[in-house]
Structure 1
Amino acid sequence: MQQFDLIVVGGGPGGYVAAIRAAQLGFKTALVEKQHLGGVCLNWGCIPTKALLRGADVAHTLKEAAHFGFAFDNLSFDINKLVAHSRNVANKLSQGIAYLMKKNGIAVIDGSARVAAKGELEVTLNGKASRYKADHIILATGARARNLPNIAIDGKRVWGAREAMTPTALPERLLVIGAGAIGVEFASLYSDLGSSVTLVEAVERITPAEDAEISALAAKAFSKRGITVLTNTLVDALDSSGEDTIALLKGPDGEQRLSVDQVILAVGISGNIEQLGLESLAVATERGFIKTDGFGKTNLVGLYAIGDVAGPPWLAHKASHEAVICVEKIAGVDGVKPLNKDRVPGCTYCRPQIASVGLTEAQAKSAGHEVRIGRFNLNANGKSLAINEAEGLVKTVFDSQTGELLGAHMIGPEVTEQIQGFGIAQQLEATEHELMHTVFAHPTVSESMHESVLDSLGLAIHQ
């Protein structure tokens, strides 16, 4: 039986980072992966969707070209070329992960893993099982799209993310069920590419994890674009027996029937905890995810879990950060601290983009903070006007007693690139005072971040 110091199960952004950090720290390391290095994020999630969304941005730019004096004749669009670009990007990065494994001397083991006993893994490939021993085993098996009790992904009329990323033709009429980050990204993508989109959400607002003001602005922007947004609405049934798929919707105005060509189901995820041997070893789980402490430890000595399989927030950068924390804690690195999940930024790449870090206004008040709120609308920002993307808001939430930045919430052009400024401010424990005296370059959209801070103090210059 081959012996390693540390084995990682799963080659996604949590798993491969854990393996690399372990190798850097001198551990004899192996990584088990049953399908593609890079995991869902690199192959079927974060990266390929952004390649597709770039195509949607180009489509939007072309539609708005006349505003800047351009006119086009005989424009055409080939969905297959856009999909091929997306897949090529994913394949290139997956090969890059393989190179990193080789560079760092990490043994890559193909197959499906099961924790057979404390410190033992059984890996099965093509019906043949092999055993490996390790002092430390890190589970980074990720998560998968969740089905509804009455609606399941079938890959034909009802797509999950994978099918939605590899269409051979654009659906004329599309229903997106679920208005979290994944749902609104697909709604935005297909709308820009030319589909007629209906977005349905069971709760009272889209992007429900975001600050309520940001959600309201997102819904307004989507409606202005022609996307039909239905909140407090359930899809009671789907009938795909005919040429069209008929959705029975139940909402505030009663029942309605909607005919569509395609459905995308985006109602959350479930942890990949099955067939890992957890039950036989009494490994604790909670709501379908592995229960861990702040350093990835499970209740079984020598077994750890990181990333999506260990619960929210379900974000690639959270998984990678957890990976480093977990491995460094195992190695006894000085000063390792548990992840502060309130400081993990979230980004949604719809149009307009949404980004946030920290507490919403409601969460801050619920936690007992006396808050001071700053707001700045992008319609008063010179760069936003210049690029004709002046719909948006920067909202900051401060503790009125200490000046601590509790949260920041943004909607507008390229805010996913800007949110890190507020993330760094939180990490460095900057207060309103430090942010107020920070010099922001002009003209930039990010100047709105500064103005929002000034507004919290009643000192905004441009509004």
Structure 2
Amino acid sequence: MNEYDIAVVGAGPGGYVAALRAAQRGACVCLIEAGQVGGTCLNRGCIPTKALYSTALLLRRIHGAAAHGIQVDPPRFDFAKAVARKDEVVQKLVGGIEQLLRAQGVDVYRGQASLAGEGRLRIRRPEVTAHLRAKNIILATGSRSVRPQAFPVDGKNVLTSREILAIKELPASLLVIGGGYIGCEFASIFAAFGTRVTVVEQLPTLLARTDRHAVREVEKAFKEAGVSVRAATAVESLKVTDGLVRVGLSDGEELEVEKVLVAVGRVPNSAGLGLEQAGVRSDDKGAILVDEGMRTSQPGIFAIGDVTNIIQLAHVASYQAGIAVTNAMGGDAKADYRVVPSAIFTLPEIGQVGLTEEDAKEQGIAVKIGRFAYQASGKALCDGETQGLVKILAAADDDRILGASCVGEEASTLVAEAAAAMQAGMTAQALGRTIHAHPTLPEMLMEAAEDVHGLAVHKAGRRRDR
């Protein structure tokens, strides 16, 4: 029976990073994966979605080329080629990770793993069942799409995010059930491709935990793109007939669409791991319970990523991987989630970190707010991308930056500067005094930071007494 210092179950952005981190530190490591390395993020989530998003963004810009004096015949969009490009991007990245694992000497096993006693794992494959031993085990099995029993998810007409990324023909019409980040990203992408899109959300607004100013910009863009948004509305029935889906809404309206995307959340993928038999505690949703060091209730067993349901983001899983490996090798690291940036790839895209204005109000935290609009940015005007704004929240007492929201061109990139500033404990005044290259989009962060104190130069603001 093979023995390892660390065995990692699941090769997503948490698992493969954990395996590489452990190997870098000299541990004897194995990685167990039932499918392809990269997990959901690389194969059926973040990367393929963003490859299609890149195509949608380019197509939208081509449609706006006339404003730059570039005359383009109505562009012809080949969805099949866009899908093929998306698959090529995925395969290239999968191959890169496999190469890294080989270079670091990580043993990769294919199959379904489960806990099989103290320090032991069972690996089930179609032809054989194998066992191995490990001093420490890191569970990184991710999450899966929620499939409500009320909806006939058949993978053909009624789809989850996994199946919609596998379709080969562009649907004429699409109903998206769920106005969270997954649903809104797909709505933006397919609307740009020419699909007639409807988004249905039970809550009163889209993107419930996102800055309201940012959400309003997305809603405005949806309206301009012809996306119909039905908030505070539920889907009460779905029926597939003759290749179409008849949809009954809670307001009594009936729709008929070619495809339906069910995007109502994700749940931890912990079934079949043998948690209960091994004494590893989990909650009623299947999330594995861990402490700040990613330790489970059993010594020598750690859990990271979506399967813990702490924050379902790929980069958080990768961060937790480092914590778990450090502690598996005798350290005492603790996770800190105070500065976690996130990005939503709608058109326009959103970047966010720390508190939103709504969070501050709910928590009773006194803040000062600075804002700066894209339409006042020289670089945004040059690019022809004037929709959006940047917002910075600073503590009213000591001026520390507590949060930032960006919506518009490259918002997912801009938010990284705000995250770095927060991690460094910078004040709005310090960020505002930092020299930024001109003309660039990051100047908007400087201006928003200055606007916290009414000092933004390129904004009509408050005059201060001397």
* CA deviation vs aligned residue, 1:5-48 (integer Å, no higher than 9, x gap): 11000111100110011111111110001110111111111111
* CA deviation vs aligned residue, 1:351-377 (integer Å, no higher than 9, x gap): 100010011112223333111111111
SS at match of 2:391: strand
**How far apart are 1:288 and its partner, in Å?**
2.4
Match of 2:463 in 1: none
Match of 2:42 in 1: 42
Are the aligned partners of 2:300 and 2:328 in contact in 1 as well (CA < 8 Å)? no
**How far apart are 1:435 and its partner, in Å?**
0.8
1:449 to 427, 445, 449: 445
SS at match of 2:116: strand
Are the aligned partners of 2:122 and 2:132 in contact in 1 as well (CA < 8 Å)? yes
Aligned residues: 458
Matches within 5 A, 1:299-310: 299-310=297-308
Match of 1:213 in 2: 213
**How far apart are 1:2 and its partner, in Å?**
1.5
Which ranges of structure 2 fall in alignment gaps of 5 or more residues?
460-466
Whole-Å separation in 2 of the counterparts to 1:103 and 1:158: 41
Are the aligned partners of 1:33 and 1:110 in contact in 2 as well (CA < 8 Å)? yes
Q: Normalised by the size of structure 1, how large is the TM-score?
A: 0.96
Whole-Å separation in 2 of the counterparts to 1:446 and 1:152: 46
Whole-Å separation in 1 of the counterparts to 2:386 and 2:296: 47
SS at match of 1:8: strand
* CA deviation vs aligned residue, 1:220-251 (integer Å, no higher than 9, x gap): 2211221111111111111112443111112x
SS at match of 1:284: coil
Match of 1:30 in 2: 30
* CA deviation vs aligned residue, 1:114-171 (integer Å, no higher than 9, x gap): 0011211000111421111111000000111112231143111111112222322111
Q: Does 1:322 align with 2:323?
A: no
Matches within 5 A, 1:195-234: 195-234=195-234
Whole-Å separation in 2 of the counterparts to 1:392 and 1:304: 41
Match of 1:260 in 2: 257
Match of 1:289 in 2: 287
Match of 1:139 in 2: 139
Are the aligned partners of 1:32 and 1:109 in contact in 2 as well (CA < 8 Å)? yes
1:373 to 366, 369, 374: 369
Are the aligned partners of 1:8 and 1:15 in contact in 2 as well (CA < 8 Å)? yes
Whole-Å separation in 2 of the counterparts to 1:315 and 1:461: 36
Residue identity in the other structure for 1:22: A
Are the aligned partners of 1:383 and 1:445 in contact in 2 as well (CA < 8 Å)? yes
Which ranges of structure 1 fall in alignment gaps of 5 or more residues?
none
Match of 2:462 in 1: none
Are the aligned partners of 2:218 and 2:346 in contact in 1 as well (CA < 8 Å)? no
Residue identity in the other structure for 1:107: D
Are the aligned partners of 1:79 and 1:167 in contact in 2 as well (CA < 8 Å)? no
Matches within 5 A, 1:103-142: 103-142=103-142
Match of 2:355 in 1: 359
Whole-Å separation in 2 of the counterparts to 1:154 and 1:398: 48
1:416 to 412, 424, 437: 412
Q: Does 1:270 align with 2:270?
A: no
Residue identity in the other structure for 2:328: I
**How far apart are 1:337 and its partner, in Å?**
4.1
* CA deviation vs aligned residue, 1:255-285 (integer Å, no higher than 9, x gap): 2111111111111101110000001123111
Q: Normalised by the size of structure 2, how large is the TM-score?
A: 0.96
Higher mean alpha-carbon deviation, 372-381 vs 265-274, is at 372-381
How much is the aligned-residue C-alpha RMSD, in angstroms? 1.4
**How far apart are 1:216 and its partner, in Å?**
2.0
Q: Does 1:344 align with 2:343?
A: no
* CA deviation vs aligned residue, 1:380-404 (integer Å, no higher than 9, x gap): 1111112111110111111100111
Are the aligned partners of 2:271 and 2:286 in contact in 1 as well (CA < 8 Å)? no
Match of 1:20 in 2: 20
SS at match of 1:219: helix
Q: Does 1:181 align with 2:181?
A: yes
Whole-Å separation in 2 of the counterparts to 1:169 and 1:124: 35
* CA deviation vs aligned residue, 1:70-92 (integer Å, no higher than 9, x gap): 22236322111111111111111
Runs of 4+ in 1 over 3 A off after TM superposition: none
Share of identical aligned residues, percent? 39
Are the aligned partners of 2:369 and 2:392 in contact in 1 as well (CA < 8 Å)? yes
Whole-Å separation in 1 of the counterparts to 2:99 and 2:374: 43
